[in-house]
């Protein structure tokens, strides 16, 4: 910042301020009180005290205002602007969108609605684009690296989310499913394939399934090769790396599910050339819908716009066939039918939240914030453990911070709410 200031590089300063503000807000959202005023002083202070989350939020919003001012001064952009290609207006919209997110958490709806120059088109989405280089440096999408390797997938996809897309709306399957996931196999043990105790232990007859999971109705396996895991399943890892469902072409830069059912590995699909969304146009529509509810308005138009915006975003990727417009229209018509049939605001917010969470693929910070703000969706798959304890409404401080800073006391549990969520709903 100092060198940029000395050389009048206002565009560079604005970029740094946006990044800093976003990080500050996220740290508060995750941990609560964190160091700011005494942070980054080097040897002058190796034990910075934590500032209140409220004061850090205020400072971050101030930084965003300064960034907007700096971008408005017509400064020369850097040679490589990896986000907006030298377009200061794009950065201004991003900064304003981050401010709106902060005001939503704060419940300051008038300030939220007062900002009109924000991300209203997917072309202005604030996102990082990854490459395909595998070594020195590895520029591939982090989710791709973990899914597409020479030993198979390194994690499991959520059975709940895959089931949500399979069921779709009013009988119409979500057309995004083939873009968000890639299936290595065409059937799943215990669902539409023979049970396999080695690969999926719960697929075998006689395996004990806890009553609360049976009552929920979704447990153990999904059909059609959608090979994931239930929420909180901590059983041992079987040799199923090349059978597990992978992250798809969106947003991880993996493979489009063309029904080839190949055991894919490193280099397959788009090689990791995906995106990490930071603030997306579709998210802003869903946030607008939430604010409409909180101010006595109708969330319908913004909710539908959010769904269509995300459909278009997924459709914009290269390396996959276009999504059928008929499929998109049918899905949205199906959603509209369910929305119209939902006779209570509670039922509508359940639908709203499920769709919002689908758009969060690739960056779940706003899903976590939203869940703590409003408690939706309520019909999430339960943990395998029938009594898992309270839901974490904040995160543990990192161990190196808690252990090495004499001014820090680690939290006793994860029930300590961040400042903007002190009156939030009970969540589990």
Query: What DSSP character marks residue 267?
Result: T
Contacts of 212 (CB under 8 A, 6+ apart): 382, 386
Q: How far apart are CA 154 and CA 298, in angstroms?
A: 42
- Closest among 428, 427, 379 to 167, alpha carbons compared: 379
- Per-residue pLDDT band for 8 (boundaries 50, 70, 90) equals confident
Average pLDDT, the chain: 97
pLDDT value of position 35: 98
Whats the size of the chain, residue-wise?
428
pTM: 0.96
Question: Percent of the chain scored above 70 by pLDDT?
Answer: 98
- Per-residue pLDDT band for 428 (boundaries 50, 70, 90) equals confident
Is it the case that residue 189 has pLDDT exceeding 70? yes
Q: What is the pLDDT of residues 14-27, one digit of tens each?
A: 999 999 999 999 99
- Per-residue pLDDT band for 111 (boundaries 50, 70, 90) equals very high
Q: What is the pLDDT of residues 362-414, one digit of tens each?
A: 999 999 999 999 999 999 999 999 999 999 999 999 999 999 999 999 999 99
Give φ, ψ of 423 to 5 degrees.
-110, 25
Contacts of 69 (CB under 8 A, 6+ apart): 14
**Residue 255 burial class via C-beta count within 10 angstroms: exposed 0-12, middle 13-18, buried 19 and up:** buried
395's tokens? 């995160």
Angle at 223 between CA 217 and CA 224, to 5 degrees: 155
Per-residue pLDDT, averaged over 416-422, amounts to: 97
Per-residue pLDDT, averaged over 173-183, amounts to: 99
Q: How far apart are CA 397 and CA 416, in angstroms?
A: 12
- Per-residue pLDDT band for 420 (boundaries 50, 70, 90) equals very high
Which whole-number Å values give the CA distances from 79 to 72, 94, 273, 383, in the listed order?
Answer: 18, 20, 21, 49
- DSSP assignment of 188-239 equals -BTTTB---TTT-GGGSTT----HHHHHHS--S--STT---B-TT--PPPPS
Is it the case that residue 295 has pLDDT exceeding 80? yes
Q: What is the pLDDT of residues 323-353, one digit of tens each?
A: 999 999 999 999 999 999 999 999 999 999 9
Buried-exposed string 237-246: b where 16+ CB fall within 10 A, e elsewhere: eeebbebbbb
Q: How far apart are CA 327 and CA 177, in angstroms?
A: 12
365's tokens? 């910070």
- Per-residue pLDDT band for 6 (boundaries 50, 70, 90) equals low
> With contact defined as beta carbons under 8 Å apart, do 320 and 171 qualify?
no
Q: What is the pLDDT of residues 241-266, one digit of tens each?
A: 999 999 999 999 999 999 999 999 99
- Alpha-carbon torsion (184, 185, 191, 194), positive or negative: negative
Least confident range of 4-8, 16-20, 37-41, 162-166: 4-8
pLDDT value of position 371: 98
Is it the case that residue 54 has pLDDT exceeding 80? yes
- Per-residue pLDDT band for 227 (boundaries 50, 70, 90) equals very high
pLDDT value of position 4: 66
**Residue 410 burial class via C-beta count within 10 angstroms: exposed 0-12, middle 13-18, buried 19 and up:** exposed
Residue located via tokens 């004990």: 208
**Residue 376 burial class via C-beta count within 10 angstroms: exposed 0-12, middle 13-18, buried 19 and up:** buried
253 Rama class: left (phi>0) / alpha (psi -120 to 50) / beta: left
- DSSP assignment of 28-60 equals HHHHSSEE-TTTT-GGG-SSPPEEPHHHHHHHH
pLDDT value of position 50: 98
Query: What DSSP character marks residue 276?
Result: E
CA 73 to chain centre: 33
Per-residue pLDDT, averaged over 283-302, amounts to: 99
Is it the case that residue 12 has pLDDT exceeding 90? yes
- Per-residue pLDDT band for 2 (boundaries 50, 70, 90) equals low
- Closest among 170, 164, 125, 144 to 357, alpha carbons compared: 164
Is it the case that residue 93 has pLDDT exceeding 80? yes
Q: How far apart are CA 18 and CA 62, in angstroms?
A: 10
Question: Percent of the chain scored above 90 by pLDDT?
Answer: 97
């Amino acid at each position: 910042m100092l060198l940029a200031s000395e050389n009048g590089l206002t565009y560079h300063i604005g970029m740094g301020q946006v990044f800093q503000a976003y990080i500050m807000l996220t740290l508060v959202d995750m941990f609560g009180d964190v160091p700011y005023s005494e942070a980054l002083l080097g040897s002058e202070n190796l034990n910075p005290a934590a500032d209140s989350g409220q004061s850090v939020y205020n400072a971050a919003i101030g930084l965003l205002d300064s960034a907007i001012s700096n971008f408005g001064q017509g400064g020369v952009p850097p040679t490589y602007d990896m986000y907006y290609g030298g377009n200061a207006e794009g950065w201004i919209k991003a900064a304003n969108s981050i401010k709106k997110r902060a005001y939503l958490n704060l419940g300051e709806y008038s300030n939220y609605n007062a900002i009109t120059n924000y991300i209203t088109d997917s072309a202005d989405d604030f996102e990082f684009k990854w490459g395909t280089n595998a070594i020195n440096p590895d520029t591939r999408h982090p989710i791709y690296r973990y899914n597409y390797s020479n030993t198979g997938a390194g994690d499991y996809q959520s059975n709940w989310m895959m089931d949500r897309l399979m069921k779709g709306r009013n009988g119409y399957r979500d057309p995004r499913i083939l873009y968000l996931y890639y299936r290595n196999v065409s059937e799943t043990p215990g669902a539409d394939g023979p049970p396999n105790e080695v690969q999926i232990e719960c697929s075998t007859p006689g395996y004990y399934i806890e009553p609360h999971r049976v009552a929920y109705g979704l447990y153990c396996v999904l059909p059609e090769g959608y090979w994931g895991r239930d929420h909180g399943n901590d059983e041992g890892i079987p040799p199923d790396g090349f059978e597990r469902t992978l992250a798809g072409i969106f947003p991880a830069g993996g493979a489009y599910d063309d029904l080839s059912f190949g055991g894919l590995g490193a280099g397959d699909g788009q090689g990791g050339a995906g995106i990490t969304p930071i603030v997306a146009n579709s998210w802003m529509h869903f946030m607008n819908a939430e604010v409409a509810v909180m101010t006595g308005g109708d969330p319908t138009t913004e909710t539908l716009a959010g769904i269509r915006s995300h459909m278009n975003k997924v459709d914009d990727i290269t390396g996959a066939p276009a999504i059928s417009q008929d499929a998109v229209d049918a899905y949205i018509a199906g959603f509209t039918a369910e929305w119209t049939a939902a006779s209570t605001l509670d039922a509508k917010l359940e639908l709203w939240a499920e769709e919002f969470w689908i758009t969060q693929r690739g960056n779940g910070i706003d899903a976590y914030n939203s869940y703590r703000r409003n408690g939706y969706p309520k019909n999430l798959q339960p943990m395998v453990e029938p009594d898992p304890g309270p839901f974490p409404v904040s995160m543990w401080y990192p161990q190196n911070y808690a252990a090495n800073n004499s001014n820090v006391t680690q939290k006793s549990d994860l029930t300590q709410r961040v400042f903007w969520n002190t009156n939030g709903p009970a969540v589990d």
